[in-house]
Structure 1
Amino acid sequence: MIRKHDDTPVRSMEETISGWMVLIGLASMLLTAVLVSVMFTRTLGDQLVQDLGRQTQVLAAALELSGGGAAELAEMTAGGDVRATLLDEQDNVLYDSQGDDLDNHGDRPEVIQARAEGTGSSRRTSSTFGVNTYYYAMLLEDGRVLRLAAESSELHALYDQAVPAIALALIGVLFFAVAASLLLTRRLVRPIEQMGRDLDDLTAHVPYRELKPFARALEQDRRALREGEQMRQEFTANVSHELKTPLTSISGYAELIENGIAQSADIPVFAGRIRTEAGRLLTLIRDILELSRLDQPMADPQFEPVDLQQVTQNCAKAQALNARKAYVTLSCEGSSQMVRGSRQLLDELCQNLCDNAIRYNRPGGSVVLRTGRGDRGAYLEVEDTGIGIAPEHQLRVFERFYRVDKSRSKATGGTGLGLAIVKHCALLHGGSVELHSHPGQGTRIRVWLPPMV
């Protein structure tokens, strides 16, 4: 018996299987006992009727040879345990070895059958003595009927003699079933325990094919947990590094001002740098919090009809000032495309794509926000004429904190989390992200989303 973390007793697999096997054994034993009793009783009853039939035939032959009647029958059956009855042609009692002045027996089933077929038998409670009795009747050649009867107490005596042997046999079967269940359970459970000791190579030591899907699922879960743990460690390390850089700058400039080392003319410059680093720090914290929120499973996402064209137009208005500062032309194209989603998340997705397109562009370049529909559904696309992404970086740009050009990212205030947020938003909407880029020519990122039917 083992216990849960809240001290609730929990039965082991071996105890559970053994218990069920013992219960099945007990149920089988009781069912067997009932069936044996029924069959034994029926067999003994049939045997008793056959014995009555043989005795009746012997007595009938003796009566017919001797031409005798009641007196001769009384002499033949004296001292016996079997009740003998002799009936005349009208079924009146000529003789009964255990009673006098008895009623007419013409309504007795065994007598009726004997007169119709020559012999007859039945089992019932005797109307004369009130005892459960077996009867056998035979029609004699002179029209009389000879009937013999035996009480069921004789059958019970035989059954009582057999009961001890049956009980001993059943107890033996029970002990054998318990021992066999314990042995079999150990043999079944031991390979599973052995499999549990080697979790690093679980699928290579599966003892039963029924456990293979479970082993595969468990190995996948363990692999996912390891990958998740590794991602969390990398994420923590990256966050610590990214936070350390602006905080170090802020602390350094503040210390220069605090100690009076900075000249009066330098103070506005240092204050501007502190404000820039603080803004970068706030942006980084905002993106980290957003990613953490997107990582949490959304129990009931508030989805509603959203027009992607309206999302791009709102984004263009919000990013117009940034585009002018970077000397980048910003425009919108495409048609109205309705999808079901979160307006806030889709706005954030478009803002991150547009911000990246402006940030990694060149003066005089352009950014186009485009909507449309293709073979994979509705799409929102951002295309720029910026610096582009080399092929070896294209598979990793959606990873957290991954930067193609770290010096340019830090110079422009990038956190390395924008495209990771884009990918999460797309996945939460059941969509996907497609990237096409050529170094020195620009980048096009298309987000496919399921359209409204």
Structure 2
Amino acid sequence: MTKKIFRSICSVAVCITLAVLAIILGVLYNYYSDIQRQRLDTQAEYVASAVELDGMNYLNKIDDKTYRMTWIDKNGKVLFDNEANTDEMGNHLERSEVKQAIMTGKGSADRYSETLTEHLYYTAVRLDDGSVMRLSVNELSWWALLLAMLQPIIIVFLVAVLVSLYFAYRLSKKIVEPLNQINLDKPDDAKVYEELTPLLEKVRIQKKQIKNQQLELEKKRNEFEAATENMSEGIILLNSDGVIISINKTASRLLGISSYCVGKDLLLFSSGVEVQELLRKAENGKHSEIILDIDDVSYHFSATPIMSGDKVTGVALIIFDFTEMEKAEEVRREFTANVSHELRTPLQTIAGSAELLSNGMVAEKDVPQFSQKIYKEAKRLITLVEDIIKLSHLDEESSDIISEKVDLYDVSKMTVTNLTPVAEKAGVELAVKGEPSIITGKSQLLTSIVFNLCDNAIKYNRPGGRVEVEVKNCVDCVKLSVSDTGIGIPLDQQSRIFERFYRVDKSRSKEVGGTGLGLSIVKHAAKLHNAEIELRSVVGKGTTIILTFPK
């Protein structure tokens, strides 16, 4: 910046000096031209008077070649010229200065002389006999003046340049010095130039923003470390060169390395071929997974590339205990066993009753009773199979069902209308209230949620009871609540009612045809809609289930 200011000041000084010199030359040129013309006019008057007295004799005696002298008669013929041959000169009667002198007694002109090929200034004076005495002189040119003044001009220019260099150096230093003394840590304390106030204000604001960002980053880093340090899964973050950026305690323990390994290559601590291959694939932009046995425990290694545009900037390596997967497998086997058990019971009843009927071992009067039992169990079996299919479908996240804008209030009204005959048969009053509430979801699953909640509320109610469905449209969510005046759910069982095949009252459930899967379907469908479930229940007074759907 100092050099730039120095160069600018020098350039301005040189330009001003040149401009001043040009102005001075212009003033001098005009001054000398005026002096020259005044002298010519005076000399012309003097020569005219002398010619009046002595005529041609006076002209012939003059040896001074300072002025060009021309005597012209009243007819325009040149009688005398001290610089040209009069015989070769044409008639001068039409010359402007001659015409003006004949008419007014005196004339002047400024023009290029074709005879002498010079730029001349002419002054003409009329004599008593009508002839004209004309004097001319070469006009002072710019170049002549410049050459005459060249030496002083060069001296003045050099002095001006040297003085400019000196003051430019001093000024540039003085201008920049306060800027160099600005304390950017305390920009408000800087009292430099008024023009820098906006800049210092921006520095102050940016410094504050940077400080806030640093605090936020520090906070997020602490939160990340607090979250990852207590995780059962091991997490390692690597840069694009495989150098460890972050590692939590679990990963350190699983790999048997110190947490002080940050900044070093992971392969220095883990020479396993599988891990090397895993990281190599991740660094090439491919997600990869492997399962390794460490201390007789199976661990799942998952390497995910961290992308910035099309470039891999790092790798996230996650290590977790594979025993969780085994637990999930155990749950699946338990579900299979429960399904087998739930299917076996109605099938055995159907098979036994059918066998008795086919062998004629049932009295005629008992045939309708056995037929009714077969129908009831078959219907229960169909319901059970349908619920199992629904659950399986939900486990696959219902990818074939399209999400759309759905009015949950319309869904609730339609479901209540369809279940009203069932409620009337059970002696239960079924009602719906609320307002139009639009959410984005899967219409079939939302209908299933409302249907299962209302169906349970009717089945586990008492004659003369009431079921009320309410849809409330909030600012950022929609709330669906189904309340009943039924038997209620004991506190110790409320945490399990959403498990598959779990029944609070098994005998009543079988009596009303429950499969134990209705609330499981509700839970899965709600999860797919990111909805939260809240349960409120008092034994003997009723139950309220509230689902909150984000808009």
Q: Which structure exhibits the higher relative contact order, with contacts defined as CA atoms closer than 8 Å and separated by 6 or more residues?
A: 1
CA distance 1:201–1:213, shift in 2 (3 Å): farther
CA distance 1:192–1:305, shift in 2 (3 Å): closer
- Aligned equivalent of 1:340, options 428, 433, 440: 440
CA distance 1:388–1:189, shift in 2 (3 Å): same
1:437-448 residue pairs with structure 2 within 5 A? Answer: 437-448=537-548
Q: Look up the match of 2:297.
A: 200
How big is each residue's C-alpha offset from its partner over 1:240-289, in whole Å with a ceiling of 9 and x where there is no partner?
Answer: 11001111111111111111110111111110110000000000000001
Q: Look up the match of 2:471.
A: 371
1:77-88 residue pairs with structure 2 within 5 A? Answer: none
Rounded to whole Å, the distance in 2 between the matches of 1:255 and 1:201 is 51
**Structure 1 residue 225 displacement after superposition:** 1.3
Rounded to whole Å, the distance in 1 between the matches of 2:323 and 2:476 is 31
- Aligned equivalent of 1:414, options 514, 519, 522: 514
**Structure 1 residue 213 displacement after superposition:** 7.2
1:256-267 residue pairs with structure 2 within 5 A? Answer: 256-267=356-367
Rounded to whole Å, the distance in 2 between the matches of 1:185 and 1:439 is 60
Are the counterparts in 1 of residues 490 and 539 from structure 2 also a CA contact under 8 Å? Answer: yes
Counterpart of 1:252, as a letter, is G
CA distance 1:268–1:429, shift in 2 (3 Å): same
Provide the TM-score with structure 2 as the length reference: 0.44
Q: Look up the match of 1:423.
A: 523
Is 2:407 the counterpart of 1:310? no
1:205-216 residue pairs with structure 2 within 5 A? Answer: 214=317, 216=319
Rounded to whole Å, the distance in 1 between the matches of 2:452 and 2:269 is 60
Are the counterparts in 2 of residues 307 and 337 from structure 1 also a CA contact under 8 Å? Answer: yes
**Structure 1 residue 290 displacement after superposition:** 0.6
Is 2:331 the counterpart of 1:231? yes
Are the counterparts in 1 of residues 484 and 543 from structure 2 also a CA contact under 8 Å? Answer: yes
Structure 2 runs not aligned, ≥5 long:
1-265, 276-290, 301-314
Counterpart of 1:397, as a letter, is I
Is 2:414 the counterpart of 1:321? no
How big is each residue's C-alpha offset from its partner over 1:135-179, in whole Å with a ceiling of 9 and x where there is no partner?
Answer: xxxxxxxxxxxxxxxxxxxxxxxxxxxxxxxxxxxxxxxxxxxxx
Q: Look up the match of 2:387.
A: 287
**Structure 1 residue 373 displacement after superposition:** 3.3
Is 2:373 the counterpart of 1:273? yes
1:83-122 residue pairs with structure 2 within 5 A? Answer: none
Counterpart of 1:265, as a letter, is K
Rounded to whole Å, the distance in 2 between the matches of 1:274 and 1:358 is 24
Counterpart of 1:200, as a letter, is V
Rounded to whole Å, the distance in 2 between the matches of 1:198 and 1:213 is 23
Are the counterparts in 1 of residues 436 and 473 from structure 2 also a CA contact under 8 Å? Answer: no
**Structure 1 residue 187 displacement after superposition:** 7.4
Are the counterparts in 2 of residues 379 and 447 from structure 1 also a CA contact under 8 Å? Answer: yes
Counterpart of 1:353, as a letter, is L
Counterpart of 2:404, as a letter, is E
CA distance 1:242–1:440, shift in 2 (3 Å): same
- SS of 1:319's equivalent in the other structure is helix
Structure 1 runs not aligned, ≥5 long:
1-183, 204-211
**Structure 1 residue 379 displacement after superposition:** 1.4
Are the counterparts in 2 of residues 202 and 215 from structure 1 also a CA contact under 8 Å? Answer: no
- Aligned equivalent of 2:271, options 180, 189, 200: 189
Are the counterparts in 2 of residues 377 and 450 from structure 1 also a CA contact under 8 Å? Answer: yes
Rounded to whole Å, the distance in 1 between the matches of 2:268 and 2:440 is 56
Q: Look up the match of 1:242.
A: 342
**Structure 1 residue 300 displacement after superposition:** 6.2
Q: Look up the match of 1:384.
A: 484
- Aligned equivalent of 1:252, options 339, 342, 352: 352
Rounded to whole Å, the distance in 1 between the matches of 2:533 and 2:268 is 53
* Larger Rg over CA atoms: 2
Rounded to whole Å, the distance in 2 between the matches of 1:195 and 1:290 is 36
**Structure 1 residue 386 displacement after superposition:** 0.2
**Structure 1 residue 398 displacement after superposition:** 0.4
Counterpart of 2:405, as a letter, is P
Identity %: 45
CA distance 1:378–1:257, shift in 2 (3 Å): same
Counterpart of 1:189, as a letter, is S
Are the counterparts in 2 of residues 376 and 448 from structure 1 also a CA contact under 8 Å? Answer: no
Rounded to whole Å, the distance in 1 between the matches of 2:346 and 2:513 is 11
Counterpart of 2:449, as a letter, is L
Counterpart of 1:284, as a letter, is L
- SS of 1:302's equivalent in the other structure is coil
- SS of 2:364's equivalent in the other structure is coil
1:56-205 residue pairs with structure 2 within 5 A? Answer: 188-189=270-271, 196-198=293-295, 200=297
Are the counterparts in 2 of residues 437 and 443 from structure 1 also a CA contact under 8 Å? Answer: yes
User: How many residue pairs get matched?
Assistant: 258
**Structure 1 residue 450 displacement after superposition:** 1.4
Rounded to whole Å, the distance in 2 between the matches of 1:312 and 1:447 is 13
Counterpart of 1:251, as a letter, is A
**Structure 1 residue 214 displacement after superposition:** 3.8
Provide the TM-score with structure 1 as the length reference: 0.53
CA distance 1:281–1:188, shift in 2 (3 Å): closer
Are the counterparts in 2 of residues 371 and 378 from structure 1 also a CA contact under 8 Å? Answer: yes
Over the residues paired in the alignment, what is the CA RMSD in angstroms?
2.6
**Structure 1 residue 393 displacement after superposition:** 0.7
